[in-house]
Amino acid sequence: MPDVIHAITWPEELAFASHRLKEIARQNYLPMATLLDKCELWAAALDCPEVREIPGGAFLRLWLRRSTLEAVLLRELGQASLHGGWLEQGQVRHRAFPLGVVGHWPAGNIEIQPILSLTCALLGGNTCLVRVPSGLIAPTQLLIQRLHQVDPDGLLTERIFMASFEHSRIDLHEAMARVVDGAMIWGGAEALCQIRSLPFPYWTRVVAFGPRLSVGALDAATWTDRNDRQSWCRRIARDVWQFEQRACSSPQTLFLERDGAGRDPSEFMEELKCAFQEENRAHPRHQIEPALTSAICTARASWLLDDVNNRARFPESADWSILLGKGTHIPKPTGGRTLTVLVADTLLEVISGFDGVVQTLGLAIRDAGKEEALANAATRHGVDRVVRLGQMHAFGSPWDGMDLVRPMVRLVRHLRSQDVLRASL
């Protein structure tokens, strides 16, 4: 098995890697059908115990399936993109062509993000130069090794160069920026600002996905219904467990619409506690950082001391926490499987306080008309994804209100001279 992640010491190594990727792209055309076939095989190869232990591994397998990627291509680039042809529109035709080498700067807290990012560029026909954060080397190496197993001829793996270097090596970040034609950047505000300030060539297309947070909401008819409540609680627990609440799409707060009959949410809390316990048994945490343990314990204590009416459910360990209170504003997230549940008079009041920081709104609403009103209000207040609870992490296009593939292609317009000549006769 060749080295799949290269430890970089000198800027010249990145320049050489980029030059090699450009030559591969020029000389070795990769049909879209072949790319999709390889991704389908890759998805199947990821169905193993080692990958199941990686947070988000299940979603990555779904993302790499041919049906998922074809749907993204159809929406963003049209039917012609599936067979590499031109889209005819009267006398004019259009076709997507790659930018060239796309550089990727994934965030360091999402294990599958280097793979998610590079596949977006590969779908545009590009080659990829990926900087792998030091904390993600082990999971990324495992995921890429599975690709090598199903791609023995190297048709896909030769188009990917994965580099590892210290975050503090500004000279290497600059060297990488100078040799890419496109850039996909993920992470916190400080990291995004630093990377966007690098000396990219003037033609480089830069797409940045910044820090956001996500919430869930249930109307009174849903959370008071004993028949469906257990199922919704399980969906909420799954959304909380994926990515250990480190993803932008992770629910940090859950809003409950106040019940007109004045029913207390105690029964709902018990159902949610049982769902958390079940999820914890299925996906136990093997280790936890001391700082996160301290933050969770502090959040629990502060919550119960701040208001005598506040309640909580949690085990003796720091495995998970449910904090119950009332309000319409999103508290500062704690993370670490800590979900704040707030009872509000109306969900529209909650949504009216959103200020653009909410990425995903997960809903469980009984009435379709009511959900339509909530979705319209949420999108006007900056929400980019409105989904069903249980599917808050389903990666797809658009993401953060942006296409994933289209920014990394050139849409070429061709007006054939023969057509112009015939039109003038």
Asked if the model's pLDDT at residue 2 lies above 70, the reply is: no
Q: What is the rounded average pLDDT of the residues 57-80?
A: 94
pLDDT, position 423: 56
Q: What is the rounded average pLDDT of the residues 327-353?
A: 96
Q: How many CB atoms lie within 10 A of CB 117?
A: 25
Token pair of 281, please? Answer: 């048994």
Residue 335 in contact with residue 246, Cβ under 8 Å?
A: yes
Q: List the Cα angle 215/221/223 in 5-degree steps.
A: 50
Asked if the model's pLDDT at residue 12 lies above 70, the reply is: yes
Q: What is the pLDDT of residues 43-57, one digit of tens each?
A: 999 999 999 889 889
Asked if the model's pLDDT at residue 420 lies above 60, the reply is: no
| pLDDT band, residue 33 (cuts 50/70/90) | very high
Which of 158-167, 241-250, 296-305 has the least mean pLDDT? 241-250
Tell me the CA distances in angstroms from 299 to 12, 237, 244, 322, 335, one per residue in order: 48, 19, 16, 11, 10
Q: What is the pLDDT of residues 273-311, one digit of tens each?
A: 999 999 999 989 888 999 999 999 999 999 999 999 999
| pLDDT band, residue 90 (cuts 50/70/90) | confident
Q: How many CB atoms lie within 10 A of CB 94?
A: 15
- Location of each CATH 3.40.605.10 domain in the chain: 6-210+400-417
Task: Determine what percent of the chain is predicted with pLDDT higher than 90.
Answer: 84
Asked if the model's pLDDT at residue 241 lies above 80, the reply is: yes
Beta-ladder partners of 226? none
pLDDT, position 64: 97
CATH superfamily for domain 6-210+400-417: Aldehyde Dehydrogenase; Chain A, domain 1 (3.40.605.10)
SS (H, E, C) 177-195: HHCCCEEEEECCHHHHHHH
Tell me the CA distances in angstroms from 283 to 159, 286, 289, one per residue in order: 35, 9, 17
Which of 112-116, 243-247, 328-332 has the least mean pLDDT? 243-247
pLDDT, position 102: 98
- Location of each CATH 3.40.309.10 domain in the chain: 213-388
| pLDDT band, residue 417 (cuts 50/70/90) | confident
Tell me the CA distances in angstroms from 387 to 76, 83, 374, one per residue in order: 20, 31, 12
pLDDT, position 84: 82
Fold of the domain built from segment(s) 213-388: Aldehyde Dehydrogenase; Chain A, domain 2 (3.40.309)
Rounded to a whole number of angstroms, the CA Rg of the chain reads 24
pLDDT, position 419: 65
Q: What residue has token string 């909580």? A: 312
Beta-ladder partners of 213? 358
Q: What is the rounded average pLDDT of the residues 373-378?
A: 97
pLDDT, position 71: 95
| pLDDT band, residue 14 (cuts 50/70/90) | very high
Tell me the CA distances in angstroms from 382 to 78, 317, 331, one per residue in order: 27, 36, 18
pLDDT, position 236: 98
For the question of whether the overall pTM of this predicted structure is more than 0.85, the answer is: yes
pLDDT, position 72: 96
Q: What is the pLDDT of residues 104-141, one digit of tens each?
A: 999 998 999 999 999 999 999 999 999 999 999 999 99
Which of 187-191, 207-211, 413-417 has the least mean pLDDT? 413-417
Asked if the model's pLDDT at residue 260 lies above 90, the reply is: no
